[in-house]
Amino acid sequence: MNKELQGKRIKSCHLQDYERLQKIGMLDKDTKSFHQLVNGKIKSVISRGNVIRVKLNNEMNLILAPEYGGKIFYHTSEKMVPRKFHLKVNFNDDTVLTVRLTSMGLIHAMKDSDLERSYVFRRDFNSDVPSPMDEELTFERFSKLLAENNRMLKSVLVGKDAVVVGLSNSAFQDILYRARLHPKRKASELNKDERRALYDAIKLVLQERIKLNGKDQFHDLYGNQGGYTPVMGPNMKKQTCTVCGTPIEKLSVGGGHVYLCPKCQV
Ligand SMILES: [Zn+2]
């Protein structure tokens, strides 16, 4: 997004079918905030965790958080715009960005000075919690974070009390299977080899997802389907483990379901 959108000036913003989103707090109550994006020029697009910050040169920001699914598409002309979207941003060069949330998420137009009021912004951008993509998250630092936590791996890696930002339950299942760890293991009880396996699996899953253009159920900015299929998750329902042949099980962990191989993951 940064490569494609940087330097573009916003000509107009258009919202549609957004009343439901407003009702549940997924979009600004007062849509006048989106008018303030107009004439702004995009300085940068930065993502961290599950949040995308489109920063303009007029002290405004478009904050997008497609938490569990969203369609953010770039179009070279108005003719290419799909019928369904929640927000459409037209640029001065006649290109267009459309945003549609398909599950939970947020679309906000916010002043720099108001960003602190945004829960998702504070959570993913303005906290001391490292992103697994940060180079500063070394194995030593990660090990220390695990050692300090006697909670189950699920809550240590996913959700609001996680020691890293942005890992979904989907990524979690994939990571734990690769690291051969059971989701109910306590973080502080992992030995050094297990911590290393976990760290490597996190980096691997994220790198593979990026390399292969995202997870297969999502689409990139140009509408191309992602090429990454998780090795463990709901897609493995009623299947057997590709390593040992054991039937895959589904477990309730920390307010969600986790698929796992009961033999490989201990
Ligand atoms: Zn197995």
pLDDT tier at 245, thresholds 50, 70, 90: very high
Judged against a pLDDT cut of 90, whether residue 149 lies above it is answered with: yes
CA count, 13 A, side-chain hemisphere, 264: 22
pTM over 0.85: yes
**Residue 260 CA to ligand 1 centre (angstroms):** 8
Cβ-in-10-Å burial (0-12, 13-18, 19+) of 249 comes to middle
**Residue 266 CA to ligand 1 centre (angstroms):** 10
Question: Which of the two residues, 136 and 260, has the higher pLDDT score?
Answer: 260
Q: How many other CB atoms are there within 10 angstroms of residue 150's CB atom?
A: 11
**Residue 243 CA to ligand 1 centre (angstroms):** 5
**Residue 177 CA to ligand 1 centre (angstroms):** 9
Cβ-in-10-Å burial (0-12, 13-18, 19+) of 207 comes to exposed
Task: Name the DSSP class of 187.
Answer: G
Q: How many other CB atoms are there within 10 angstroms of residue 3's CB atom?
A: 7
Map residue 133 onto helix, strand or coil.
Answer: coil
pLDDT tier at 44, thresholds 50, 70, 90: very high
Question: pLDDT at position 172, please?
Answer: 96
Among 1, 210, 211, 33, which residue's Cα sits nearest to residue 98? 1
Tell me the per-residue pLDDT of 49-72, one tens digit each, with 9 for 90 and over.
Answer: 889 999 999 999 999 999 878 999
Map residue 122 onto helix, strand or coil.
Answer: helix
**Residue 236 CA to ligand 1 centre (angstroms):** 12
**Residue 200 CA to ligand 1 centre (angstroms):** 19
**Residue 142 CA to ligand 1 centre (angstroms):** 26
Question: pLDDT at position 68, please?
Answer: 77
Judged against a pLDDT cut of 80, whether residue 180 lies above it is answered with: yes
Tell me the per-residue pLDDT of 77-136, one tens digit each, with 9 for 90 and over.
Answer: 999 999 999 999 999 999 999 999 998 899 999 999 999 999 899 989 888 899 998 889
**Residue 240 CA to ligand 1 centre (angstroms):** 8
